[in-house]
Structure 1
C-alpha cells in the first residue's frame, strides 16, 4: 500500500498534467513549443519527478511529444489528423447509440425507458452551459463544459474504457482545433451548440435524430477547421 508521500506525488502529478493540458487548450502553450522538465519544475516550484511523470502522461495521451535530448514539445496536429480524430470519435459515439438501440444503458439494470430522463438530467445541465458559452463565443468556458458533457454522457453507457477513449479523442480534437479557433476574432456562430438537442433526442431514445445531430456537428467542425487552415 503506498504511503502518504506516494499519494501526494500522484496528486501533484495529476495537478501538473491538468494545468499543462489547460495551458495547451488555452493556447498559451503553442503547437511545436518546446520545454524541459527543469523549466516546468521551476515554473511550478516543485521537484522534477512529478513533472516528468505528468509530461510522460500527456505524451501518452497525444498532447506532447517526447524528445530524448530536448525534453518535450506540444504536439502539432494536421487537418488530416483532425479528420481521423473526428472519424474515430464518430465510431465510438455510434457504438454508444447502438447500445441504446439495443435497449441498454449502462446504469439501467433493466431496459426501463422511464429512468433515462433522470440519468440524463445532469448531462443536459452541462449541455446548457456549453451552449451558452458557444453562443457567446467563449472558447475556454465551452471546452470545459463540452468535455464534462461528453464525459458524463459516455459514462452512462457503463463502459469505462469506452468513456476514457472518447475523452482522450475529444481532448485531442480540441487541442487540434484551438490552434485555429484562437486566431478568430469572433467565434459566435462558429461553434457547435446543440448539446441539449442531442440529450433530448436520447431521452426520446430517438437515435436516428441523435446520429443526425452528431453527423452535422462533425461536418460543421471539420468545415470550420478546413476553412481556417486554408484547405
Structure 2
C-alpha cells in the first residue's frame, strides 16, 4: 500500500515538473530565445534546465499537440514557423469568437463577476510598465480566458486558449522596447469599464480594436 502511495506521489511530482518545463519552454518561445525553424534536442534543453531529458521530452510532446513545435526524427523538435496567413486566420477566428462573446457577457455577467477581473487587468498594466513580459502574457491569458469563461461555454474557452498558444505574441520584446506595450495593456481596463457600464457596442468596439492591436504585435517581428 505504502509503495503504491509513494509511486502516486512520484507520478504527480513528475507531471508537475513536466508542466513547469512546458511553461518555461512556452516562455522561451514567446521571448524569442527558442527561434522558429530551429531544431532543439531534449537532452540539450534538459542540460540548460539542469534536469533529466525525460520531462523535457514529455513537455515538448505537449507543445507538439499545441502546434508550437514539431518532432524531427532522431534530432529533436523544430519550433513551428507561423506565417502571416496563419496569424491573419488566427486573428480572424479570435475576433469571430471573442467580440460577440464580450457583448453576451456584458448582458449576463454580474457587476461582482466583472469587478473580480479588475485586479488581473491591473496586473497586465503593471507587468507592461515593469517590462515583465512573461508576467504580462500570463496575466493577459488569465484575463481573456476568465472573461470568456463567464459565458459558460468551456469548449469556447479551450478553443481561444489553443488559438492563443498557436499564435504566440511575436515582437513582444520590440514593442516593450518601443514603449507600446502599456497602451495595449490599458485596453483591458478600458474593456472592463465599458462592460461595467453595460455598453455592449462599446465593449465590442474595444475588443475589436484590442485584437487588431494584438495582430499588429504579431506582425512587428515579421
TM-score tier, shorter chain, comes to 0.7 to 0.9
Equivalent in the alignment of 2:60: 55
Q: CA deviation at 1:56?
A: 0.7
Distance 2:210 2:17 in 1: 36
Normalization by structure 1: what TM-score? Answer: 0.80
Normalization by structure 2: what TM-score? Answer: 0.82
Aligned mate of 1:43, from 48, 65, 68: 48
Equivalent in the alignment of 1:25: 30
The more displaced of 32-41 and 9-18 is: 32-41
Change (3 A) 1:31 1:98: same
Distance 1:165 1:187 in 2: 31
Equivalent in the alignment of 1:186: 177
Equivalent in the alignment of 1:158: 152
Q: Are 2:91 and 1:86 aligned?
A: yes
Equivalent in the alignment of 2:141: 147
Q: Are 2:162 and 1:171 aligned?
A: no
**Runs in 1 of length 4+ with deviation above 6 angstroms?**
none
Distance 1:51 1:226 in 2: 30
Distance 2:126 2:12 in 1: 37
8 Å CA contact 1:100–1:205 kept in 2: the answer is: no
Q: CA deviation at 1:134?
A: 3.8
Q: CA deviation at 1:152?
A: 2.0
Which ranges of structure 1 fall in alignment gaps of 5 or more residues? 106-115
Aligned mate of 1:203, from 192, 196, 201: 196
Change (3 A) 1:221 1:4: closer
Distance 1:144 1:226 in 2: 20
Deviation digits for residues 124-175 of structure 1 (CA, Å, limit 9, x no counterpart): 11112223444566544422321221122122222222222212222333x2
Deviation digits for residues 49-83 of structure 1 (CA, Å, limit 9, x no counterpart): 32222111011112111112321021221222111
In angstroms, what is the RMSD of aligned CA positions? Answer: 2.6
Equivalent in the alignment of 1:122: 116
Q: CA deviation at 1:14?
A: 0.7
3-state SS, counterpart of residue 179 of structure 2? coil
Which ranges of structure 2 fall in alignment gaps of 5 or more residues? none
3-state SS, counterpart of residue 65 of structure 1? strand
Deviation digits for residues 22-53 of structure 1 (CA, Å, limit 9, x no counterpart): 11122221222211122223333333332222
3-state SS, counterpart of residue 180 of structure 2? coil
Where does 1:91-110 land on structure 2 (aligned, <5 Å)?
91-97=96-102, 99-100=104-105, 104-105=108-109
3-state SS, counterpart of residue 178 of structure 2? coil
8 Å CA contact 2:105–2:150 kept in 1: the answer is: no
Q: Are 2:214 and 1:221 aligned?
A: yes
Q: Work out the number of aligned pairs and report it.
A: 215
Q: CA deviation at 1:213?
A: 0.7
